Chain A
């Protein structure tokens, strides 16, 4: 079916997220200028979990003015940096030097050489600035002010495609760069752009970018947004229970997560290792957290921890702390991750009176997670979803609100992480079998072998790349990614780059 014709993907123009904007300013100006803090961020709720969805980043009523302020804030730095950015400014200021600027920075900003019309617009800005009495460096600041408010810079946008067309090399370079680095293409990618319609050259650039430190942000963002792992902050946690959890501690916990997922992609991690690895990254703080020897002060180390407790990304402290309440764990949050994000199950919405009903449910004194779950699941109107997600979340009850391992609740009651995970079928729509497990590691060991998990992770990669919910038209691309994940020796990096060979990545359609 997937070879019968070209299967392009539908994409929409989307404004850069704050992270992409910050990275873009850094790449655009060789790290010489500081991004503005006034760049307007995202708004609304993501359908996929990924922050790049177009609707989240639409410009609102105050957005155009904020974009103007942001552009000005960057532009104000131009005179001081101009000697490094544009050497001809010192020796031969004038229109030829402006053209030199446009050749380099205009191409970076627009991710392709500007058209004659676009060059003319920016050159007119320069001329108007000069006419207003501005010096050369001030005039260049105004050109940058203009440039940074243009849609070609602010939006990831491709030309119309009708029923479908192949992307050109520059469009591919832009897609690749935003997918793997959350930023605009670097000079090497732009130089290679005309040849990127050759899959081998595209693949080579992907490998180069993935190996670059610039990919860290995008890799971490993929895993964070897929798993619901936020930047955990002291304000998220009960300071009476966790008085030690300050900003420095939170930074260590967040950094530990990012280092783990980047390591998985960089160092031949597989779906199995992602979900079953006992690796963690520790500095002195996290070493104390895990009870292992601390590396030298200021350094990080990869260490292996107890495999009977820890299992891959799902027991990384930042993820466990994110999927928890302020003071206690949440089997609902953690279970939802397993069912919705790892099995791609559509649980639907809770019944309208779910919360009101819960308020009336009698609970035993000091209930355990299983006690609470049993009361919920006993209600017919609740059991449809909670019978599916609660067992998955209860498997992680041995991790508290901060992700620390424990065997008892604060009440002293013993935690029993065993259970049965029902309906783990071959697909989200098919009835499936039951997984029996003794604890979280046992559950994950069985899940990692489920084809549905590989298919779901492939779906998440697709959603991440295209910033939207997948449709039945996208099945071929998702299948290609899934095949790369499940191939013998298939790595996460290969799964990410498997996308590049699909029609979905190399072609576009408008509908």
Chain B
């Protein structure tokens, strides 16, 4: 198969300066190659923390409208918080009245922890700990081409020093609430990790004498098999709890082993526009010495391009863009040329309004939130600009779901989650360019519907039944939910969305 290799430097010009947005035409492949292979379906989850950062109440400015109906024409801001989505109004569906019902099973626990543990998994937490896999993982198992393909990769959307411990990385989850497939915070390493095995062009001839690295790579499957067997023999000496912990680890080894068969398969064909980003194109960050927020814009652009290419090159079919810098993003460019109030202040505290000397006014919070809207738009635009295996747009075969850990960040409320859907146009019978604000639905409904849109038959996701049956004996947490909705008879699913 003919492959077009376009190793362009997508972010930085020769002088190292950041190219201004928009730059889509420059990024788009110049030639769409005729392809016949049916493109796979894919899922991208975008998640930002703190939900709607203004509200609840009259100040809430996220929803484009109060009732179900069309969004404004492209180019018109759908709402103050989503103003940056104006160019893609016709490609999205915004949802109101989406609640995280299962979070109310967390008893009297408060804060972000149980919201994080449930917002993508909809599984009843154990204390503050997550117990189920998140939607990207469930979809990933189904969408991957084989067990060898990476799945449910989580790509950080905001910059952080390498030694900055990521304390908010328990949102994307594997089986039994185990940590998700978080990728390196280093954008260069991320590119190397994702694209090392992507073959563009004819395969290179085997080296006359394999290096140690070649030999280690060739024996990965064998060594992993031996390690997994070692786990099995060692576990017999342990108690039940420790066995469980090691068994889970061993299962991940077995999963990994499948990616490294003794005889590597021929790399599958990739989309015409597969162009692995060059690691050399990533700005040379001074990771130990950068100022708060100053890299977030170039970092987000880099990561989005890497994500899009990971889909285009079929490295994965499920990826998440996680704006994980939950507590203290700077939003530098949202306020430029003025100084962002969240440089001196703290975004998390401002959303909560906890008394820190910040700027918690709706106008500033909305402006800061614009960072997420801007990069969601960019992601959608990039997916639209890249050709798929059949010449269609990558976006046409990719469902994008933008969610959050909370409904309203001001008080850890778990109703009215800000949800935006995009892509996979054929799965929206009523079309896109709509706002849906009908009956209350749960996040479980959203994810079940997403799985159906991707080809499944799911009617539920995560815990099922009612709050009382899902967590018998637990004191529910009604205060943080939709007023009047939460009691032991509240269902965890309300049915299909009006899409």
Contact = CB atoms under 8 A, between A and B. Distances in A.
Nearest to B154: A62
A113 B226 CA distance: 20
A42 interface: yes
A63 B178 CA distance: 10
Contact of B170 (A45, A64, A376): A45
B424 to A, nearest CB: 24
B238 A65 contact: no
Interface in B118-176: 128-129, 137, 152-153, 160-167, 169-170, 174-175
A326 B346 CA distance: 7
Interface stretch (B75-83, B86-94, B228-236, B301-309): B228-236
Nearest to B222: A128
B23 interface: no
Nearest to B140: A61
Interface stretch (B107-115, B380-388, B435-443): B107-115
B179 A45 contact: no
A66 to B, nearest CB: 9
A118 B237 CA distance: 13
A62 B153 contact: yes
B277 to A, nearest CB: 19
B403 to A, nearest CB: 19
Contact of A238 (B153, B160, B343): B343
B458 interface: no
Given A12-B241, A138-B212, A234 B170 contact: no
A429 interface: no
Interface in A255-280: none
A330 interface: yes
Contacts of B152: 61
Interface residues of A, number: 83
A399 to B, nearest CB: 15
Contact of B290 (A42, A69, A155, A234): A234
A65 B259 contact: yes
A162 B238 CA distance: 10
Interface in A114-139: 117-118, 121, 124-125, 128-129, 132-134, 138
Contacts of A356: 56, 353, 410-411
B216 A72 contact: yes
A352 B245 contact: no
A234 B291 contact: yes
Nearest to A159: B237
Contact of B169 (A43, A117, A352): A43
Contacts of A102: none
A92 interface: no
Contacts of A162: 239
A124 B226 contact: yes
A63 B220 CA distance: 15
A43 B166 contact: yes
B181 A61 contact: yes
A43 B182 contact: yes
A15 B233 CA distance: 18
Contacts of B237: 159-160
B242 A160 contact: yes
B6 interface: no
Contacts of A13: 238, 241-242, 245-246
A203 to B, nearest CB: 28
B294 to A, nearest CB: 8
Given A43-B166, A326-B346, A157 B238 contact: yes
A15 B162 CA distance: 20
Contacts of A125: 223, 226
Nearest to A409: B357
Contacts, number: 247
B244 to A, nearest CB: 9
Interface in B311-335: 328
Interface string B340-353: 00011110010111
Given A117-B233, A157-B242, A349-B110, A43 B249 contact: no
Interface string B170-214: 100011001111111000010001000000000000000000110
B280 interface: no
Given A231-B163, A326-B343, A510-B239, A353 B411 contact: yes
Contact of A65 (B109, B226, B256): B256
A23 interface: no
Contacts of A134: 212, 215
Nearest to B254: A64
A15 B128 CA distance: 20
B230 A151 contact: yes
A61 B252 contact: yes
Interface in A37-81: 37-38, 41-45, 51, 54-55, 58-65, 68-69, 72, 75-76, 79
A93 to B, nearest CB: 15
A185 to B, nearest CB: 19
A476 interface: no
B497 interface: no
State the 7 A-B residue pairs at the shortest beta-carbon distance, nearest first.
A60-B179, A355-B352, A327-B344, A61-B174, A359-B353, A247-B289, A62-B181
15 contacts: A13-B238, A61-B137, A72-B217, A128-B219, A142-B219, A145-B216, A150-B230, A150-B231, A151-B234, A233-B164, A325-B356, A353-B411, A353-B479, A359-B410, A510-B240
Given A64-B253, A159-B238, A358-B355, 4 more contacts: A64-B249, A146-B227, A159-B237, A235-B291
Interface of B: 56, 108-111, 113, 128-129, 137, 152-153, 160-167, 169-170, 174-175, 178-184, 189, 193, 212-213, 215-220, 222-224, 226-227, 229-231, 233-234, 237-242, 245-246, 248-249, 252-253, 255-256, 259, 286, 288-293, 328, 339, 343-346, 349, 351-358, 360, 410-413, 477, 479-480
Interface of A: 12-13, 15, 37-38, 41-45, 51, 54-55, 58-65, 68-69, 72, 75-76, 79, 117-118, 121, 124-125, 128-129, 132-134, 138, 141-142, 145-146, 149-152, 155, 157, 159-162, 231, 233-241, 246-247, 325-328, 330, 332, 349-356, 358-359, 372, 376, 510
